Amino acid sequence: MLKLIKPANYLLGNSLKLNTLVQARYFSFSINQIQFDKVKKDSEYPNLYYYPTKTDNKTILSLLNPNQIQSKSKALSTVGAIGTTTQDLKGLKAATLDPKLFEENADFIEFMHECLSKSSVDKDQHLIALAQYQKEGWLHVPDQRNPAPWGRIPLPEDILGSLLIQDSKIVPTSYQKMPSHRVVSSSGLFWLSEALHQDLIEKLKVKLSQ
């Protein structure tokens, strides 16, 4: 039996004592800044595109393809930006992004956790199976970029949030965001399970079409 684990906010209090978290930075952008002729798609990360900008040595990250992002003016369409030049674009990979150069999009992050609070309850069969195994307590939603060994708790920066388990089932609306989760860490960009990733993209498209 797995040990009952603490909810996200409890772990945050302990993790702050370590003083190892990277301070988040936020950004804004305009579609007119993007060099669409130099767009690159990540070779390993699903649906991730890099959009270099014209003037400020930044590359925008988005889960939308060029046709989709050109029709959207909302900042919600981007994950964030990484400080880089067009010469560095060829070497960009989700797994090796530098957290010190990353500026996250607070609107996107808020939307992602809103999606996770709903989809993690019934979309991810692995989480559902873990809930059936654990039976009671709090279950962490792990970031797949840096999986913890079986039975171990992931690092606070690799926990997306926590779910309450009662009678072997995930309690709807119980999702708690982990404030110390890093969109980009030393292990790269956040990585959701396939089910949660696809659900996020579909919900993003629907939201931006409204």
Average pLDDT over residues 22-46: 80
- pLDDT, position 160: 97
Q: How far apart are CA 104 and CA 77, in angstroms?
A: 12
Q: Which residues on adjacent β-strands are paired with residue 104?
A: 26, 80
| Residue 16 pLDDT greater than 60, yes or no | no
DSSP letter at 5 equals: B
State pTM to two decimals. Answer: 0.85
pLDDT classification of 19: cutoffs 50, 70, 90: very low
**Long-range contacts at 53-58 (CB < 8 A, ≥ 24 apart):** 53/29, 53/81, 57/83, 57/84, 57/85, 58/27, 58/29, 58/82, 58/83, 58/84, 58/103
pLDDT classification of 3: cutoffs 50, 70, 90: very low
pLDDT digit string, tens, across residues 178-200: 999 999 999 999 999 999 999 99
Instruction: Please answer whether residues 104 and 89 qualify as being in contact, where contact means their C-beta atoms are separated by less than 8 angstroms.
Output: no
All structural domains of the chain with their residue ranges = 8-21+113-193, 31-107
The structure tokens listed for 40 are: 């690159």
- pLDDT, position 20: 43
pLDDT digit string, tens, across residues 79-135: 999 988 666 788 899 999 999 999 999 999 999 999 999 998 889 999 999 999 999
